[in-house]
Structures are given as structure tokens and as C-alpha cells.
């Protein structure tokens, strides 16, 4: 009697336990069965190179380039990973992979301000085994310098960018004015043209640039500071120089003569697209932007002022010299990549004279090889490159430091705060920013 009770008891218990166990296993199985999820298959033969890039403005040109490469290198397939458009977001994505020592990063784009950071952190592979000194000479010196950290090169420049001054050729001609050389001239010209045009019912502003709180703000402000003979980092002491008179004056000039005066207050919300939109809708006389804007401004399908655009060096402040902020994109090789040789083949292909010429002709991208600026085809397709070549020799890189992103955030905060309020204490804020930047520089020098 007892035994049968026991047995039935056990059966009931084990039934419960069995059912519960089955339940749990079932639900977990559900999980795994349901998630069929296919993984990206690697090609059967040859090497697959992962190329981390952003979405290009003209994807067709890139498709052609990839095709040519894969045809000439049948043993390599390119796996593209497209990152976010903004330089900062692209940077964050790249860092996320590289700081976890990802082996699947073979070739990647670097903004001109990253090589120091990527080199110090050991993310970009040093390129001297592949990139000979003779070859380096073919490239623009400033671009190579931006890729150098502690004497070693970590990237190959592919595209170079510079801040340029765009202006309405037709309006300047109408009022018989020459492109301005100093900012005071520009302000005077802008005020005059705006006054004359608005009196006839036209609605137009003087100047459009990028003053939102982002990296582009640093580029725009740096051009004013450098154009006044100032610096962000004093090359002699290695410390922050924002509190020195030329730098403070330049910032005050922007706050008092540009924002809300010849430039609409909205420029404080503009990145490149919005500021360019204002210009190509015919609502600004002067405009500061990178060379890419030339093609768009002269395209009748996209611009109301096609054919009426002029391009020139940026003006400077009294007593200074014109300096543009150096921009551009370089190609780096992941330090944990297992296909460095193949990666170099892609890098040297993309930066070869042939392909750079293709980019210059078909998408208006400024090449980094000096010789191409004497190439007849290139100059015919992009007449504004003539002014560019001159600007490149005076283009100035932003501070090169492994902690540049942090430094840039301090600069962005300082600039944005100071130019958006008319009563801001510029000198005080500059000193505060100085302190923070010096602290960061000290960290990096340990």
C-alpha cells in the first residue's frame, strides 16, 4: 500500500518536474530555432577585405572604382560597411570596433584629425613597411604631415579639403567689386550689396557659414583665429593659446560683426547642408564651405545660382594672413587586420594617380597628389582647383593630439557659448577653456 502510494507520488512529482523542465527547454529551443539568422558568408576563395566607409555623395563613381579593383585583383573581394554620415558618429563606430581589437577591420577612412589618436591607441597600422619615402613625396606635404605621429606615417591621404570662400560673381560684378581680401572688406561689401538688393525687394543675407555646436564650428572659428595671427595651441609652449589677444579678438569679431549681423542668427544651427542651401537658393552673397560645394552650386538641377558662383581664398583679419582649416580623408589599415598585404593593395589602388584622377573628374574631389594639379583634364573639369592648390600650402591642421576629440568638445562648447550670446565674457571663457585643454594635453603627454 505504502509502496504504491510512494510510486504514484513519485510519478506525480516527476511529472511536474519533467513538464517544467520540458517547458524551460522548449522555450529556449524556441529561441534558437526561431532565430535562423544567416551569417554573412565568406567568399569561397581568396580574401575578403572589410572596408569601412561612409555613404559617398556619388555612389556610382565608387561602384565603378570597386568594380575596377575587383577585376584587377580577382583574389580579393571588398566587403563594404557603411557608417553614419557625420564625422563624429563615424568616429564613434570605428572606435567601438577598434578598441575591441576587431580583426574584421581591414581598411577604413580616417578624418584628418584622427591619425594621432588612432596611432597612439595602436589601432592604425604603421605604414612604413609599405609606404616608401619616395612615394610620400608625390603627395601634398600638409596632408602627409596630418597623418604623421611621432615620426611614423599611419594613413595615406585620399581626399583633401579646405575652407574656401564662395561668392556671387554676378552680384559682385553688378556693384563692380573685387573678391574681398580682408574680413572688414567682406563685411563692408556684404552690407552694401544687401542694402542695395533689399531696397529693390530682393531678400538676401550677407554671409552663410557653419556655426552649429559641432566639429565644423571649430573649423570655421579656427580660420578666423589663424587669420588674425592667433593659435589654438601655442607651438612653442605646447599649451593652449585661446586666451591670447589675437585669438580672443578673432572670436569677438565673429560674435560682434558676423553672427546676427551679416550672417542670419540661424547660422548657429547650420552644418554644411543648411548653410549651402541658403546660398544656392540665392539668399546669401558670401558662403564658406569645402570644395565639394562647387559642383552642387553650379548644378542647375540643384541650385538657383548655377553659373553665377565664384570661388576664392578665405579673407583674413587686419594684420594676419589667410589660412584655411585642413580637412580631408585618409585611408588607414587596421592594426589587428589579418590581411595587411591585401589591405595595402586596396589602399595604394585607391590613392593611385589613375583613380584619384577619376575621382577628380567625375565627382569633383580634390586629389592629394601634387602632380594632378598640373593635369590638363583635371584643371579643365575643375577650374577652381587652381585656387585650391595655392590654398593647400597655407592650410593649417587642427591640433594633433590623441585626445583631440575631447579637446574639440571643449572648443565647441567654448565657441558655441561665446558666439551665441552678445554679452558673453569672451576672455573669461577662453581662460576656462585654456585650463581644460591644458589638463587634457598634460594627460596625453604622460
Partner 1 sequence: MKKICFFITTATVVFLSLLPFFWFVSTSLKTELEVTAIPPILIPAGSLAFYRSSIERYDLLHFLKNSLIVAGSTTFLTVSLALLAGYALARLRIRWRGLIMGGLLAVSMFPQISISGPVWKILQAWGWLNTYQGLILPYVTLTLPLGVWIIAAFFQELPADLEDAAKIDGCGHFQTLFRIILPLAVPGVFTAAILIFIYAWNEFFFALLIMTQKGYQTLPVGIALFQGQYTLPWGEIAAASTIATLPLVFLVALFQKRIVRGLSAGAVKG
Partner 2 sequence: MRKLTLLERERIFACSLISPCFLFVAVFAFYPIIYSFYLSLHRIIIGLPGLGEKFIWFQNYYELFHDPVARHALGNTLIFVFSSTFCELVFGLIIALVINRHFRGRGLVRAAVLIPWAIPTVIASQMWRFIFNDKYGLVNFVLFGNNVGEYQAWLADPFFAFLAVVVADVWKTSSFAALLILAGMQTIPEELYEAAQIDGANAWRRFTGITLPLIRPALLIALLFRTMDAFRVFDLVYVMTQGGPADSTNVLQYYGYKKMFAEGLMGYGSTLSMLAFLITLIIAMFYLGIIGKGLIRAGVQNETMRGKPGR
Residues 289, 164: contact at Cβ < 8 Å? yes
Closest to partner 1 by CB, 293 or 388: 293
Using the rule CB under 8 A, which residue among 72, 75, 82, 122 binds partner 2? 122
- Per CB under 8 A, 79 contacts partner 1: yes
Closest to partner 1 by CB, 180 or 264: 264
Residues 356, 368: contact at Cβ < 8 Å? yes
Residues 163, 288: contact at Cβ < 8 Å? yes
d(CA 434, CA 60): 45
Binding mask 10-29 for partner 2 (x = CB under 8 A): x-xx--xx-xxx-xx--xx-
- Per CB under 8 A, 13 contacts partner 1: no
Using the rule CB under 8 A, which residue among 9, 43, 59, 122 binds partner 1? 59
Applying CB under 8 A, the site for partner 1 has a residue count of 49
- Per CB under 8 A, 264 contacts partner 2: yes
264 binds, among partner 2, partner 1, none (CB under 5 to 8 A by kind): partner 2
- Per CB under 8 A, 383 contacts partner 2: no
Which range of residues in 30-38, 113-121, 137-145, 193-201 is near partner 1 by CB under 8 A?
Answer: 30-38
- Per CB under 8 A, 416 contacts partner 2: yes
Measured distance between the N- and C-terminal CA atoms of the chain, rounded to whole angstroms:
83
Element (H, E) at 208: strand 205-208
Say which residue the cell 534558437 belongs to: 32
Min CB(422)–partner 2 separation in Å? 12
269 binds, among partner 2, partner 1, none (CB under 5 to 8 A by kind): partner 2
Using the rule CB under 8 A, which residue among 35, 44, 134, 376 binds partner 1? 35
- Per CB under 8 A, 82 contacts partner 2: no
Q: How far is CA 252 from its chain centroid?
A: 26
28 binds, among partner 1, partner 2, none (CB under 5 to 8 A by kind): partner 2
**CB-based burial, 123-153: b 16+ in 10 Å, e otherwise:** bbbbbeebbeeeebeebbebbbebbbbeeeb
Give 213's contacts (C-beta < 8 A, 6+ positions apart): 412, 413, 415, 416
Percent of the chain that is helix, strand, coil (3-state, to 5): 50, 15, 35
- Per CB under 8 A, 99 contacts partner 2: yes
CA-wise closest residue to 194 among 261, 257, 259, 255:
261
Assigned C-alpha cell, 384: 577652381
- Per CB under 8 A, 427 contacts partner 1: no
d(CA 367, CA 383): 14
Question: Site residues (CB under 8 A) for partner 1?
Answer: 15-16, 19, 23, 27, 30-31, 34-40, 52, 54-57, 59, 79-86, 93, 96-97, 100, 102, 203, 272-274, 276-278, 281, 283, 290, 292-293, 296, 301-302, 304
Amino acid at each position: 500500500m505504502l509502496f504504491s502510494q510512494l510510486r504514484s507520488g513519485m510519478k506525480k512529482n516527476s511529472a511536474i518536474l519533467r513538464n517544467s523542465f520540458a517547458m524551460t527547454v522548449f522555450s529556449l529551443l524556441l529561441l534558437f530555432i526561431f532565430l535562423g539568422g544567416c551569417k554573412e558568408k565568406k567568399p569561397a576563395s581568396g580574401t575578403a577585405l572589410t572596408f569601412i566607409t561612409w555613404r559617398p555623395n556619388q555612389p556610382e563613381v565608387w561602384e565603378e572604382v570597386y568594380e575596377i579593383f575587383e577585376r584587377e585583383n580577382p583574389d580579393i573581394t571588398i566587403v563594404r560597411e557603411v557608417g553614419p554620415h557625420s564625422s563624429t558618429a563615424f568616429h564613434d563606430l570605428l572606435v567601438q570596433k577598434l578598441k575591441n581589437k576587431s580583426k574584421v577591420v581591414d581598411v577604413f577612412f580616417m578624418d584628418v584629425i584622427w591619425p594621432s589618436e588612432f596611432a597612439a591607441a595602436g589601432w592604425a597600422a604603421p605604414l612604413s613597411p609599405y609606404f616608401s619615402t619616395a612615394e610620400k613625396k608625390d603627395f601634398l606635404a600638409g596632408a602627409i604631415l596630418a597623418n604623421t605621429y611621432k615620426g611614423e606615417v599611419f594613413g595615406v591621404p585620399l581626399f583633401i579639403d579646405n575652407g574656401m570662400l564662395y561668392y556671387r560673381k554676378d552680384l559682385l560684378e553688378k556693384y563692380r567689386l573685387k573678391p574681398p581680401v580682408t574680413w572688414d572688406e567682406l563685411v563692408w561689401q556684404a552690407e552694401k550689396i544687401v542694402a542695395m538688393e533689399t531696397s529693390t525687394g530682393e531678400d538676401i543675407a550677407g554671409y552663410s557659414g557653419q556655426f552649429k555646436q559641432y566639429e565644423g564650428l571649430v573649423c570655421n572659428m579656427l580660420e578666423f583665429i589663424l587669420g588674425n595671427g592667433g593659435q589654438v595651441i601655442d607651438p612653442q609652449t605646447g599649451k593652449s593659446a585661446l586666451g591670447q589677444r589675437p585669438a580672443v579678438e578673432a572670436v569677438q569679431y565673429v560674435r560682434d560683426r558676423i553672427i546676427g549681423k551679416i550672417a542670419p542668427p540661424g547660422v548657429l544651427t547650420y552644418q554644411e547642408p543648411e548653410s549651402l542651401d541658403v546660398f544656392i537658393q540665392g539668399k546669401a552673397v558670401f558662403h564658406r564651405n569645402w570644395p565639394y560645394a562647387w559642383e552642387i552650386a553650379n548644378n542647375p538641377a540643384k541650385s538657383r545660382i548655377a553659373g553665377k558662383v565664384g570661388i576664392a581664398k578665405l579673407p583674413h583679419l587686419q594684420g594676419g594672413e589667410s589660412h584655411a582649416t585642413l580637412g580631408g580623408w585618409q585611408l588607414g589599415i587596421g592594426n589587428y587586420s589579418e590581411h595587411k598585404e591585401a589591405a595595402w593593395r586596396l589602399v595604394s589602388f585607391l590613392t593611385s594617380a589613375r583613380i584619384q584622377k577619376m575621382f577628380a573628374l567625375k565627382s569633383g574631389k580634390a586629389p592629394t597628389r601634387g602632380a594632378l594639379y598640373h593635369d590638363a583634364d583635371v584643371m579643365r573639369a575643375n577650374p577652381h582647383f587652381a585656387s585650391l592648390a595655392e590654398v593647400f600650402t597655407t592650410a593649417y591642421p587642427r591640433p594633433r593630439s590623441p585626445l583631440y576629440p575631447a579637446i574639440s568638445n571643449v572648443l565647441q562648447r567654448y565657441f558655441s557659448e561665446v558666439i551665441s550670446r552678445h554679452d558673453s565674457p569672451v576672455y573669461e571663457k577662453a581662460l576656462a577653456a585654456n585650463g581644460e585643454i591644458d589638463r587634457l594635453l598634460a594627460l596625453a603627454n604622460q
